[in-house]
């Protein structure tokens, strides 16, 4: 990977995830901070879904962060769907998606109602994002690495219009609210990534020793139990609520029905994340199951 010269930091990719909204607004009012922290790159800020943000909703017509596949971006002409148009606009501004994209690194700031701490989601393993994230998890005890491999052109995520991307998922925070503690943590992490870009551009990463890190790799999503009509009939079990990144093994309680019955997990040992994320009820995801490995990054 060559030098990182152009960076985009985005908030409001989901309009009701307020940490990114207010961080971007804060930095918009004194962009000189980026020249101080990371003078070797040009940093741009964007509020990705301003209409959803004004409505305080995740999206207007469809999830913007599922609108960046090559197929979706190649739809000709204007669409009736706000997010399809907005994704194409963002792709013009910061892409275009592919080898020749204008953006070297995109940092997309999200919130989750799940107890994810500050989760660093990587869509691929490249020299900067792996090494910088290994650095971050050593420095910030609240952070963890979640590897969700994506085929970049087909991927619907905003970050994939850039050469490399980091998606920050910070929680637990109810959508539409702000927690000062998480706001400050997120700010520190984003600025630390920018300092690490500076180190990387200076060639300091080449002398760096690999670090042994815990990596949670996406395996598969798990839906809620449902009745014959397709309605959910159970909730996350109290034992599992808030237990993101904690081991889930054969026989553990995983759901509780509305009638108070425990439902047990059957299968190989996994590490759930995005447990009880509000926006994933409609996506039929009660939690995502990951496998945990130790890797030298």
Nearer to a copy of itself, 59 or 147 (CB): 59
Q: How far is the CB of 245 from a copy of itself (least distance, A)?
A: 19
Q: How far is the CB of 170 from a copy of itself (least distance, A)?
A: 14
Q: How far is the CB of 107 from a copy of itself (least distance, A)?
A: 18
Nearer to a copy of itself, 54 or 125 (CB): 54
Nearer to a copy of itself, 25 or 246 (CB): 25
Task: Kindly provide the residue ranges of all beta strands, DSSP E only, lying in 41-104, ordered along the sequence.
Answer: 42-47
Among candidate residues 175, 69, 195, 75, the one with its CA nearest the CA of residue 123: 69
Footprint of a copy of itself on this chain (CB under 8 A)? Answer: 22, 25-26, 56-57, 113, 172, 174-181, 183-184, 231-232, 235-238, 241, 256, 258-260, 276-279, 281-282
Q: What sign for the dihedral angle of Cα 83, 85, 86, 90?
A: positive
Cα gap 171→210, rounded to integer Å: 28
Q: How far is the CB of 174 from a copy of itself (least distance, A)?
A: 4
Spatial neighbors of 285 by CB under 8 A, at least 6 apart, are 221, 222, 223, 274, 277
Nearer to a copy of itself, 105 or 286 (CB): 286
Q: How far is the CB of 141 from a copy of itself (least distance, A)?
A: 17
Q: What sign for the dihedral angle of Cα 26, 92, 167, 135?
A: negative
Nearer to a copy of itself, 151 or 227 (CB): 227
Q: Find the farthest-apart pair of alpha carbons in the chain and give their distance in angstroms, rounded.
A: 60
């Amino acid at each position: 990977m060559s030098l990182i010269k152009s960076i985009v930091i985005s908030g409001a990719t989901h309009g009701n995830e307020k940490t990114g909204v207010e961080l971007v607004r804060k930095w918009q009012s004194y962009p000189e901070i980026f020249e101080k922290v990371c003078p070797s790159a040009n940093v741009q800020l964007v509020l990705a879904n301003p209409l959803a943000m004004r409505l305080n909703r995740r999206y207007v017509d469809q999830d913007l962060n599922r609108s960046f596949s090559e197929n979706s971006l190649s739809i000709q002409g204007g669409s009736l769907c706000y997010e399809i148009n907005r994704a194409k606009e963002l792709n013009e501004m910061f892409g275009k998606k592919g080898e020749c994209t204008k953006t070297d690194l995109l940092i997309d700031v999200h919130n989750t109602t799940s107890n994810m701490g500050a989760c660093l989601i990587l869509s691929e393993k490249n020299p900067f994002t792996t090494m910088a994230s290994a650095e971050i998890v050593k420095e910030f005890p609240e952070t963890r690495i979640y590897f969700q491999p994506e085929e970049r052109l087909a991927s619907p995520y905003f970050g994939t219009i850039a050469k490399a991307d980091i998606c920050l998922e910070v929680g637990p925070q109810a959508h539409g609210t702000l927690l000062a503690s998480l706001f400050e943590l997120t700010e520190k992490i984003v600025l630390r990534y920018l300092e690490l870009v500076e180190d990387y551009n200076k060639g300091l990463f080449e002398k760096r020793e690999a670090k042994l890190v815990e990596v949670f790799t996406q395996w598969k999503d798990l839906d809620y139990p449902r009745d014959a009509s397709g309605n959910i009939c159970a909730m996350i079990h109290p034992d599992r609520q808030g237990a993101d990144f904690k081991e889930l093994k054969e026989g553990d309680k995983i759901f509780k029905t509305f009638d108070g019955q425990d439902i047990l997990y059957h299968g190989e040992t996994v590490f759930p994340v995005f447990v009880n994320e509000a926006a994933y009820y409609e996506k039929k995801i009660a939690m995502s199951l990951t496998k945990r490995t130790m890797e030298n990054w």
